Amino acid sequence: MKFVTALTLLVVVLASKKRCSREKMSTLADCADGARPSKSLDGCPTCLPKAFDKKKCSGVKCMKPSTCASGVQPARKPDGCCITCTPAKIPKCTKEQKTACQASIDSLIVCSAADDPKSSFNVDTCCMTCKRPARADANKKCTKDDFKTCMDTAPECGAEEEPLREKGQCCVSCRRPARDSPLREVGKCGNVPQCAANESPVRVKDDTGAFACPTCKPPRPVCSPACTTGQICARSKDAITQSCKAKKRMKLKLKAKVGDAATKAFFASATPDEMKATLQEVVNRYCDKEENAEKCDKYQDTVNDGMELSITSTGADEVQVQVDIPDIAVVDSRRLADDASSLLAGALTDPDATGSITMTDESGSQPANGAQSLSVSSALLAFTAVASVLVL
C-alpha cells in the first residue's frame, strides 16, 4: 500500500512539472457529463473538461468567496460554476504602468537559470524583474519553428500580466493560458458574467492542466451620449476616454474540419458571445507573433474592445456570423488597407491562430450602413498611392 501511495505521489509530481502541449490538448476527447479528469504523466488532463458550462451555471447564485490562503490559487468548486476563493491581492495594472514596463524591457537584466520565470512578474510595478536571454541572432527573421520554440519556453503570464514585446524575440514575453486550449473552449468564456463595478477578472486554475475561464469578463466601453445605429463605442488608445466610431462590417464563415465532432457540436449551440470570444482569441494568437507586432500594437485593443457580432446562420459543420469593427485607421499613405478590420482579416488567414477551424471572409469588409464596397482597379490604387505621396 505504501509503495502504491509513493508511486501515485511520484506520478503527480512528474505531471506537475510538465505542461500539456497545444497539439496534444487539441486531440483530447471531451469529458463525459459529471466526469472529473486527472493529470497524466505528460502534463495533460485525461479528458477535456468544459472551460465554462453555460447550461449548468446560468441559474447558479454564487456566495461571495472568502480570501485565498497564502499560496492558494482560486479554483472552481465541484459544481463547475462558483470559485473557491479570491486572491488576497488582485493587481490592477494601469495603462501608465504597462507603458512604463514596455519602455523598460530593453534595460532589464537577463534572467538567470536560478530565476523562477513564474515569479519574475512584480505585481506592484506590473512589470517583469528580468528578461529572457537574447537569441543567437536577434536580427534573423523568425521562422514558424522559432515562434513555436519561443512560445513553448515562455513563462505563463501572471494573474494580471499582459504579454509584452521583447526586442529580438520571436514571441511575446509570456504565454497566455488560453493559447494552449482548443478555440471552442476559449469561446465558452464568452458566457461568463460581466465584471461588476470595481471587480477584476480572476484567473481560475485547474489542477488537471486544463484551461478554465476567468471569473468574469471586462465590461464593454459605454459612450455618452449613446452611439447611433451605424456607430460603435470604442476606447481611445490611452484606454481612458471613449467615443463613437463608424462601423465596418465583415461577414465570416467558420467551418469545422472533417472529423472534428466537438467543434461541430460547439457551433450547433454557440451564442453570439461565444463566437465573439472565439474570434477575440484568434486575434490574440495572431498578435502573439512578433512579425505582426506593428498592426497589433495599433489595433488589437480596438478590435477586442469594440467587436460586435451576430450569428446569421448555422449549418451541420459551420456557422456564419456578421462582425462589426470600429472603423479606425492610422493614416499612412504607404498602406491603403491598414485599419482595425484588416487586423481581423489577417488573423483569419493564419492557421496557427485559427487552429482546427477554417475561417473565411465571405463578402470582404464593407460599411455597416449597407453601402456596397467599391471594386478598385490596381491601376487606380497605384495612382491613389502616388497622388497621396505628392500631396504630402
Residue with cell 501515485: 8
pLDDT the model gives residue 25: 84
pLDDT the model gives residue 115: 66
Measured CA to CA, the distance from residue 208 to residue 221 in angstroms comes to 35
Measured CA to CA, the distance from residue 47 to residue 25 in angstroms comes to 9
pLDDT the model gives residue 279: 98
Q: Per-residue confidence of the chain (392 residues) as pLDDT tens digits?
A: 444 444 444 343 434 456 787 778 888 888 888 788 888 888 889 998 888 888 888 888 888 888 888 878 888 888 888 888 888 766 677 778 888 998 998 899 988 876 665 567 887 888 888 888 888 888 888 999 999 999 988 888 877 788 888 888 999 989 998 998 999 999 999 999 888 877 778 888 887 888 889 988 988 888 999 999 899 999 877 667 889 999 999 999 999 998 889 999 999 999 999 999 999 999 999 999 999 999 998 999 999 989 999 999 999 899 999 999 999 887 654 555 688 999 999 999 999 999 989 999 986 544 444 433 333 333 333 433 333 333 33
Q: In sequence order, what are the residues at sequence separation of 6 or more whose Cβ sits closer than 8 angstroms to the Cβ of residue 223?
A: 233, 242, 243, 244
Nearest one of 183, 174, 163, 178 to 211, comparing CA atoms: 178
pLDDT the model gives residue 380: 35
Measured CA to CA, the distance from residue 113 to residue 70 in angstroms comes to 26
> What burial letters (b/e) apply to 149-184, b meaning 16+ CB within 10 Å?
ebbeebbbbbbbbebbbbebbbbbbbbbbbbbbbbb
pLDDT the model gives residue 336: 54
pLDDT the model gives residue 348: 96
Q: Which DSSP state fits 237?
A: T
Q: Determine the residue type at 276.
A: K
pTM as predicted: 0.83
H-helix or E-strand spanning residue 66: strand 66-67
